[in-house]
Amino acid sequence: MSYGTAGTLRSVTLDDVRGAQKMLSGVARVTAMEGSRHLTRLVGAPVHLKCENLQRTGSFKLRGAYVRIAGLLPEERAAGVVAASAGNHAQGVALASALLGVPATVFMPHGAPLPKVSATREYGAEVRLHGQVVDETLAAAQEYAARTGAVFIHPFDHPDVIAGQGTVGLEILEQCPEVRTIVVGVGGGGLAAGIAVAVKALRPDVRIVGVQAEGAAAYPPSLSAGRPVSVRNPVTMADGIRVGRPGVVPFGIVEDLVDEVRTVSEDQLSAALLLCLERAKLVVEPAGASPVAALLSAPHAFEGPVVAVLSGGNVDPVLMQRVLRHGMAAQGRYLAVRLRLTDRPGALATVLGVLSAADANVLDVSHVRTDPRLGLTEAEVELHLETKGPAHCAEVGEALRNAGYPVIG
């Protein structure tokens, strides 16, 4: 669908996406398609990774933002543009505006990751911090647009944006013409809708699967209701797809053309991000890793060859540290245990000797001596350990119990 001159809706077509591809020539990169031997073995068919995490600004968002801004009338360009985002869309709008010589103001929430705020400023946008959540930031940006005449650039709910994102689909067909399934993360739905428009027009046999985080999955209930419905307080580490309500424009396309929308857990997202880093040597944000999480959760549900779209790589280093630890825990490679010891010299060293013999790497140790539940001569110790997997975790626990240290948590 797209807007007509009277504000009505009409279809986004393959010609729209091809026009966007010409417009983006020399602006957006044709990102790499990398094979994954590990996922290929798991799925039982070839799996390729479409690396939009290596796109300029670190995500696919530049494509849609550039096409939308490039299509503005001269008087609209003169008034400038405004956007609201916690990260990827902000950077896409900032760079697109700079390339087109259009003034840009971007509202970002307080607490937005500093690397994303700094990058948005460096691309040339004026950044204004407002609100604690994106909904508050969005309201501020829309008020600014109404007051100043600046054009509001929506992150997903506009046909020009969808056409720009659809160029990813054209590249997939060019790079992997034998593809049978495309798996893509879904937030508001702009990327999935664009890919679906392009791919289904040329290859209606290709299955398109959308992926949402369980805590921010607005599409399954919306598709059941036949209209966009809201999810209250969406919660997920995957901020790139943490959207509480589908866009009106992409929803109609997803409903018509996307074959299935699946959900993944936070543990699965963490494991996917860790896999991308360790096996593919690719830095991917949680939203970008959601297609890989879907493959890990149900590897035999996808007909190959499969293309998983890694939609972005803008992950805050602090979040990366937390997610990697979470991912290691989800894979059984990180173990936290609490023990009670006799509070005497050498007691901790003895425990550490047991762990060393079990080949567990101690990451952190903390003591508690003042808990009223403890006896006069007792101390409680919490240890964070790096292990080699679930079987090794069981071996470590058994070694501690055999040495007389019952694990209490």
Q: What is the pLDDT of residue 7?
A: 39
State the amino acid at position 331 in one-letter form. Answer: Q
The answer to whether the CB of 13 falls within 8 A of the CB of 261 is no
Decide which of 359 and 260 is more confident.
260
The answer to whether the CB of 33 falls within 8 A of the CB of 48 is yes
pLDDT digits (tens, 9 = 90+) for 18-66: 999 999 999 999 999 999 999 999 999 999 999 999 999 999 999 999 9
pLDDT at position 169 over 90? yes
pLDDT at position 149 over 50? yes
- Averaged pLDDT score across all residues of the chain: 89
DSSP annotation of 198: H
Compute the average pLDDT of residues 269-280: 90
Residue with tokens 């689909």: 169
Bridging pattern class, strands 306-310 and 181-185: parallel
pLDDT at position 310 over 80? yes
pLDDT at position 274 over 80? yes
Indicate the range of 113-122, 163-172, 229-238, 399-408 predicted with least confidence: 399-408
pLDDT at position 5 over 50? no
Task: Provide the phi-psi class of 313: left if phi over 0, else alpha when psi is between -120 and 50, else beta.
Answer: alpha
Compute the average pLDDT of residues 146-172: 96
Q: Active site residue: 36, 50, 59, 61, which one?
A: 61
Q: Which of the four pLDDT bands, split at 50, 70 and 90, describes residue 236?
A: confident
Q: Active site residue: 36, 59, 97, 311, which one?
A: 311
Q: What is the pLDDT of residue 1?
A: 39
CA distance 88 to 312: 8
Decide which of 210 and 279 is more confident.
210
Q: What is the pLDDT of residue 234?
A: 87
Q: What is the pLDDT of residue 294?
A: 97
CA distance 217 to 230: 9
pLDDT at position 10 over 60? no
pLDDT at position 99 over 80? yes
Q: Where are the beta strands (DSSP E) in 44-176?
A: 47-51, 81-84, 104-108, 126-129, 151-152
Indicate the range of 108-112, 284-288, 403-407 predicted with least confidence: 403-407
pLDDT at position 70 over 80? yes
222 in catalytic set: no
pLDDT at position 331 over 60? yes
Decide which of 70 and 233 is more confident.
70
pLDDT at position 369 over 80? no
311 in catalytic set: yes
